Amino acid sequence: MEKKTSEKKIRKIITLRAPEDEAFLRQSLERSGGRLLKKLPLVGGYVCEFSSETDVSLAVRDEEKRLQVEDDLEFKLCWYPFPFFHPPRIGWGLQRIGAPQVWEKLKERRVRVGIIDTGIDYYHPDLQGNIKSGISTLEGQHQFMDDYGHGTHIAGIIGSSGRNVGMTGINPYVDFYVVKAFNEKGKGNLSDIIEGVDWLARRQVEIINMSFSTTETNSLFQQVIQYLDRQGIVLVAAAGNDGRNNSVNYPARFPQVFAVSAIDKYDSLASFSSRGPEVNFCAPGVEIPSAWLRGRYEVKSGTSFAAPHLTGTIATLFNYYGFLPPGRVREIMFKGAVRLPKLEKEQQGAGLVELPRIIS
């Protein structure tokens, strides 16, 4: 008996040169056997699924003047598992950036932080009080509950309240706006990220943490990043875990984004950390304790967890001074960074930002 194989579907983002061509797009999909999954109003795009590249060609054949096709890029999370069940109340990373030294100076002002990730455990006692809203952009999922753990860990670093006599985050005065754009296997697509970006922008978040990466880019991805920058939203991303020179991934590679590499407890670059001229800052990213699923805590490593150290630092900056435009944030952060003697410039950028140096 012949063994049946299931072929992976191909996802594309198709934009129209003229909005009135939607009917034409639907006809093209019907002709090629393609399926329209959802609209992306932010970029005037349509996420479409095909059985093969041949079907894609059939759908857009000789129609370059009416349709533009981009890959629905796949992203990966920038982390390594390292289970640990009895974390300290204050992680070493928070100690290293000097977070406890400025807690008494924090105000009641809430900072609106967007997280695009695997969702969040909204029942976690150290997080639930800081969760303002959330959405899932994944097909067939309507809840933003984290079923992978990565997003919960990110949120815990930025803003755990410590109310459960558990972990305390860098800035407990944050309001989380959470986008679940990565599934239970830690996989995500550009289209789901774009939909999440649109949702976050309409809720006027001040910072967006992006602890994911891809080696590829396209015009739509660049367009979205430029849009967020024009909105005055500060963007922070993990540099990536490729562990080589000139290996900073997207979105960290975009000039509008703060790219963060990872260091260990000894101020050495993590062996897995990407590095390159695009790196802006380094931050703790090895054996980082934080919140986990079902109210637990675990330790993880990756540039995924260096990025939220910088996000939490910027949230603290906003708490103390009020909202600042991205250019002013960049200026203050560069002045507050300490160059680490063990690292080259492409490994650390301006260096490690220590909170007592920018919160006076």
Task: List, for residues 311-342, the tens digit of each pLDDT value.
Answer: 999 999 999 999 999 999 999 999 999 999 99
Largest CA distance in the chain: 74
For residue 161, the cross-strand partners are 168
The pLDDT, as a whole number, for residue 2 is 42
The pLDDT, as a whole number, for residue 163 is 62
Superfamily (CATH) of domain 10-72: RRM (RNA recognition motif) domain (3.30.70.330)
Distances (CA, A) of 140 to 123, 136, 183, 278: 22, 9, 11, 37
Task: Supply the residues annotated as catalytic.
Answer: 117, 150, 304
Comparing CA positions, the residue from 299, 127, 115, 300 lying closest to residue 211 is 115
Comparing CA positions, the residue from 212, 285, 223 lying closest to residue 252 is 212
Q: How far apart are CA 43 and CA 14, in angstroms?
A: 10
Regarding pTM above 0.85, the answer is yes
What is the average per-residue pLDDT within 45-53?
A: 91
- Looking at the chain, the whole-number percentage of residues with pLDDT higher than 90 is 75
Please check the confidence at residue 103 and state whether its pLDDT lies above 80.
yes
Q: Which amino acid is at 138?
A: L
What is the average per-residue pLDDT within 153-178?
A: 88
To the nearest 10°, report the CA torsion of 298, 301, 304, 310: 90
What is the average per-residue pLDDT within 64-74?
A: 86
List where CATH 3.30.70.330 sits in the chain.
10-72
DSSP-derived pairing of the beta strands 74-77 and 187-189: antiparallel
List where CATH 3.40.50.200 sits in the chain.
75-358
Q: Detail the DSSP E strand segments found in 152-296.
A: 174-180, 187-189, 207-210, 212-213, 234-238, 257-263, 281-284, 288-291
The residue with greater pLDDT, 227 or 60, is 227
**How high is the mean pLDDT of the chain?**
91
Chain Cα centroid distance, residue 282? 16
Please check the confidence at residue 19 and state whether its pLDDT lies above 90.
no
Query: Is 75-358 a CATH 3.40.50.200 domain?
Result: yes
Left, alpha or beta for 29 (phi > 0: left; psi -120 to 50: alpha)?
A: alpha
What is the C-alpha R_g of the chain?
21
Count other C-beta atoms under 10 Å from residue 230's C-beta. Answer: 10
The pLDDT, as a whole number, for residue 4 is 45
